[in-house]
Amino acid sequence: MRKIALPLVLALLSAQSPAEEIPFQDLSRRNTHSIAFRTDTFTVARSEAELNAIWPDSVAAARRGDRQRFPIKVPFDREMVIAAVLATHSNGCTGVRITRVISEKDRLVTHYQRDHYPGNTLCPAAMTTAFHLVTVPVSKLPVVFVEEADNTPAD
C-alpha cells in the first residue's frame, strides 16, 4: 500500500499548479456618453468580431450604420481582450478598472474595482458609461470576474 500511496501523493501535488498573475496591457479605459449599456457587462473577446460587438464606439457606430471598427489591431492569434463595462449612469465620477488577472488551474480570474469619488468632488451630471478593456495572452480557459472593494482614486 505504501508503494502506491507515495507516488499517488506526489502525482497529486505536482498536478496542482499554483495561481499565477498574468500581465495585461490597457487598450482603453474611460467614460463615454456616446453609448448606453443597460447592465454591467463583463466579457471576453477572442476574435475581431467579438471585440467589435463589445467595443463601445463600434456599438455606437453600428447603431448609426457606420462601419467603424476597433481602432487598435489586436493579434487574436496571440492575445484576447477582457472587458469590464458598467451600466450607463448619471454620474461622471464613477469608473471601473481591471486590477489583475490570475491564471488558475481551470480558469482565469479577472479582478476589478469600481471607482467612487469622495462626496465633495465636483462631478458632471451626464449620462456616462465607464469601461476598461485589456489584452492578455490568448487562453481557452473560461474567464470569471471578481469585484474587489470599492476604490476612491487619488488622481
Q: Return the pLDDT at 61.
A: 62
pTM: 0.75
Is residue 28 helix, strand or coil?
strand
Q: Return the pLDDT at 109.
A: 97
Is residue 114 helix, strand or coil?
strand
From first to last of the 155 residues of the chain, give the pLDDT tens digit: 445 554 544 444 445 567 899 999 998 777 766 566 677 889 999 998 888 777 656 555 666 666 656 667 899 999 999 999 887 766 667 788 999 999 999 999 999 998 877 667 777 666 667 888 999 999 999 999 999 986 655 54
Q: Which residue shows C-alpha cell 501523493? A: 9
From 133, 127, 57, select the one nearest 92 (Cα to Cα).
Answer: 127
Domain ranges of the chain: 19-147
Q: Return the pLDDT at 21.
A: 95
Contacts of 137 (CB under 8 A, 6+ apart): 22, 78, 79, 80
Residue 14's alpha-carbon distances to 7, 17, 95, 151, 154, in angstroms, are 11, 7, 41, 37, 43
Q: Return the pLDDT at 27.
A: 86
